[in-house]
Structure formats: structure tokens, C-alpha cells
Amino acid sequence: DGGITQSPKYLFRKEGQNVTLSCEQNLNHDAMYWYRQDPGQGLRLIYYSQIVNDFQKGDIAEGYSVSREKKESFPLTVTSAQKNPTAFYLCASRGSSGIERSGYTFGSGTRLTVV
């Protein structure tokens, strides 16, 4: 079955460490997105990529980095510069027919906790 796989489901990070969250999709979607979810704040866009080898900053990109070397993969690195990284991270993708037709497909999320 096609879908988006995020791993790991739970991740613990020590302060000062960089960690990378994985997002893989087999839907042949062009666009991929990373959102951060905090209680009471909804989902906020971190980075997005509409094609391979290209990506743009979202609303809260500081302290994060991404790459898009393959169509299927869009990993997110949470760097030590991100001062408050504890959150639930969601990856999504969208097909080329546009949001009005294909909408977004979401992964099941990674919960990152700083210890």
C-alpha cells in the first residue's frame, strides 16, 4: 500500500545534539512538507519542497535543516540551534494534481523529546 512512513515514532535527544527525523513516501508525490505540532498551537510549517533538489523555508525554519536528494525522501534535521525542540513532528506529501484534487497525505508522526 502507498503511504508515508515516518521514523522513529519516538525519539529522545540530549541537549546540544543534532537529530534527524526520517520521512519516506512511495506515492510518487512531488511536494513534501514538515510541520511541527505543539499543544494549543496547531500545526506550523517548518520547511517544504515542491521538487527534488529544491526546498523553501516555512514559518518556523530556524534551528532546522532539510534535504531533498530523492523524490521519495525528505529528512528533517533538528539542530542544536533549535532551543525548544520537544514537539510532535508531522511529514506530509501532495501529488502533482494540486491540493484541490489530491490534498495532503500525512505520516503518523515522530514525537521528539529533549532529555
Partner 1 sequence: AQSVTQLGSHVSVSEGALVLLRCNYSSSVPPYLFWYVQYPNQGLQLLLKYTSAATLVKGINGFEAEFKKSETSFHLTKPSAHMSDAAEYFCAVSEPVLTGGGNKLTFGTGTQLKVEL
Interface ranges with partner 1 (CB under 8 A): 4, 6, 9, 31, 33, 35, 40-45, 48, 50, 58, 88, 90, 92, 94, 98-101, 103-104, 106-109, 111
Pick between residue 23 and residue 78 the one whose CB is nearest to partner 1: 23
Pick between residue 43 and residue 79 the one whose CB is nearest to partner 1: 43
DSSP track, the chain: ---EEEE-SEEEE-TT--EEEEEEE-S--SEEEEEEEETTTEEEEEEEEEETTEEEE-TT-TTEEE--SBTTB--EEE-TT-S---EEEEEEEE-TT-HHHH--EE---EEEEE-
In whole angstroms, the minimum distance from the beta carbon of 41 to partner 1 comes to 6
Pick between residue 75 and residue 109 the one whose CB is nearest to partner 1: 109
In whole angstroms, the minimum distance from the beta carbon of 62 to partner 1 comes to 18
In whole angstroms, the minimum distance from the beta carbon of 90 to partner 1 comes to 6
In whole angstroms, the minimum distance from the beta carbon of 89 to partner 1 comes to 11
Measure the CA–CA gap between 24 and 6, rounded to whole angstroms: 7
